[in-house]
Amino acid sequence: MPPFIENPFTTHTLPCGMRIICAPSPTQVVYCGIAVDAGTRDEQYHESGMAHFVEHMSFKGTHRRTARQIINRLESVGGDLNAYTGKEETVFYSSVLKQHLPKAIDLLVDITLNSTFLQEEMSKEVEVVIDEIESYNDQPCELIYDEFEEICFPSHPLGRNILGEADKLRELTSQHMHAFHQRMYRPERMVLFVYGDVEPEQVIRLTEKALANSNLSHPSYSLMPLPRTAPVPFRPAEATTTRKKDTHQAHVVIGARSFGGNNPRHLHLYLMNNLLGGPCMSSLLNLSLRERNGLVYTVESNATCYTDSGVWTTYFGCDSKDVRKCCRLVERELQKLTDKPLSVQRLNAARRQLKGQIAVSYDNFESLAISMAKRYLHYDSTQTMQQLFNRLDELTPDQLWETAQEVFSPQNLHTLIYK
């Protein structure tokens, strides 16, 4: 949203509990969707992969529309409809010219609340999801992140693969799908979001009209979702886990448990992660492993944030003979950050770089709309770019040093190697 507007957000809660958030944009395209507080973390053990499968099946027919009608509803006017499932949320989103916003809102409410989950459609779609799983298993650079989270969150839903397991998915029935949907897809667990040149009052009217055709009166909506289990403190029993994989190069993740979005230290880690292994070629890890030593093509680091916990990781791919040397170089860069605080000059440079990247990212309106919705969904709060900049300006070298010592210290790190 434009940074010059002090508070661009309009929020509203409908009588059914669904929240609405709107923000203005300068284009004629509207980015809108529904974020649902339901993800992998909300599955019971026998429901592994259910949240993602429900997302797929939401496009396969409702009480009002066939799968073909769902596909054509926005595509016929040049719009787009998509969805994704995460560990803590499922997001359905669309982009259309603003005159077609009524079509988009009506469709979004329909597929999130009125899906039929017909058994014959499930039997076809489950094979599509299993193909997706197999495709994912062929990508060790992606698969290694999932296994690392399983190590960080043992026997906890946050450690599960979002896609689930083929055997469990084939056992799911239409009744299982309805039970999960009625438990989790409740209006009070949803945020309808709109980023566009439209009036919030119009969005509220359109949403109320769409909800009038929904299943909100169904008695199953009295079912209560299970409370989320908090992750337990974790320290790996072994410092390194090695898996034998038939791959051309070795894949390595080094990382640790970190902070959730409700912890202010997540922002400290966010800045330090960008300095260490962010997207810039001048990141510390890229300079060390690639530019100075020529050992890798890709090296990156990420700070994954859930509401009450998180994972910090750095990843690289290299020749198997170079794994030990690359690990030492990563450890050396981490040790530099834990040995002493950043200088004020270096912190200011890192802060300036991150602010520039954030400003550029705000031109990706679809991503911005989804980020706005997720923040409101999980934390019931909003944040402008300027407010984020102000928080970054308040960070001190000592705060970052303390965070580095907690996350990057050798006793907190675990290494997972595929080779």
pLDDT of residue 229: 86
The answer to whether the beta carbons of residues 284 and 333 sit under 8 Å apart is: yes
Determine the Cα–Cα distance for residues 318 and 406; give it in Å rounded to an integer. 28
- The answer to whether 401 and 340 are in contact (CB under 8 A) is yes
In a domain, 229, yes or no: no
Rounded CA separation 121/57 (Å): 8
Rounded to whole angstroms, how far apart are CA atoms 213 and 215? 7
**Confidence (pLDDT) at 401:** 98
The residues facing 12 across adjacent strands are: 20
Indicate the pTM of the whole model: 0.94
Tokens found for residue 242: 């090695």
Domain of residue 191, residue span? 10-222
Q: Which two tokens stand for residue 24?
A: 């203005």
Same domain, 22 and 96: yes
Q: How far apart are CA 196 and CA 198, in angstroms?
A: 6
pLDDT of residue 62: 96
Please give the structure tokens belonging to residue 321.
């003979």
CA dihedral 305, 137, 139, 250 (to 10 degrees): 90
DSSP for residue 167: H
With tokens 């750095």, the residue in question is 314
Same domain, 217 and 100: yes
- Residue 231, in any domain of the structure: no
207: in domain: yes
Rounded Cα gap, residues 79 and 350, in angstroms: 39
The pLDDT of residue 237 is: 66
228 lies in some domain: no
113 lies in some domain: yes
pLDDT by 10s per residue, the chain, length 419 = 554 456 799 999 999 999 999 999 999 999 999 999 999 999 998 899 999 999 999 999 999 999 999 999 999 999 999 999 999 999 999 999 999 999 999 999 999 999 999 999 999 999 999 999 999 989 999 999 999 999 999 989 999 999 999 999 999 999 999 999 999 999 999 999 999 999 999 999 999 999 998 876 554 555 678 788 889 877 666 799 999 998 889 999 999 999 999 999 999 999 999 999 999 999 999 999 999 999 999 999 999 999 999 999 999 999 999 999 999 999 999 999 999 999 999 999 999 999 999 999 999 999 999 999 999 999 999 999 999 999 999 999 999 999 999 999 999 999 999 99
Query: Are 60 and 160 found together in one domain?
Result: yes
CA 196 distance to own-chain centroid: 22
| 218 and 245 share one domain | no
Beta bridge partners of 310: 258, 305
**How far is residue 250 CA from its own chain's centroid?**
26
Verify that 362 and 389 share a domain, yes or no: yes
Range list of H helices, 82-199: 101-113, 119-137, 140-152, 166-171, 174-184
Q: Which amino acid appears at position 97 of this protein?
A: L
**Residue 78 identity (one-letter amino acid):** G
In which element (H, E) is residue 359 found?
A: helix 344-361
Whether residue 268 is found in the same domain as residue 333: yes
Mind giving me the DSSP string for 168-218?
A: HHHH--HHHHHHHHHHH--GGGEEEEEESSS-HHHHHHHHHHHHTTSSTT-
Query: What's the CA gap between 358 and 351, in Å, rounded?
Result: 11
- C-alpha 39/C-alpha 58 separation (Å) is 14
Torsion over CA of 377, 260, 367 and 144, rounded to 10 degrees?
A: -130
Q: How many domains does the chain fold into?
A: 2
**Final residue before a domain boundary, out of 222, 257, 272:** 222
Whether residue 294 sits in one domain with residue 208: no
* 116 and 17 fall within a common domain: yes
Please report the pLDDT score of residue 232 as a whole number.
80
Q: State the SS3 of 337-357.
A: HHHCCCCHHHHHHHHHHHHHH
Question: Same structural domain for residues 107 and 166?
Answer: yes
DSSP, collapsed to helix, strand or coil, labels residue 414 as: strand
Same domain, 290 and 185: no
- Asked if 139 and 216 sit in the same domain, the reply is yes
Number of residues in the chain: 419
Joined tokens for residue 313: 């990781």
- The answer to whether position 199 is within a domain reads yes
Same domain flag for 176 and 44: yes
Residue finishing a domain among 192, 222, 252: 222
Q: Amino acid identity, residue 105?
A: I
Predicted local distance difference test score (pLDDT) of residue 360: 96
CATH number of the domain enclosing 17: 3.30.830.10
338 in any annotated domain? yes
**Which of these three, 177, 195, 222, is where a domain ends?**
222
Class of residue 292 by CB neighbours under 10 A (exposed 0-12, middle 13-18, buried 19+): exposed
Torsion, CA 126, CA 38, CA 156, CA 238, rounded to 10:
90
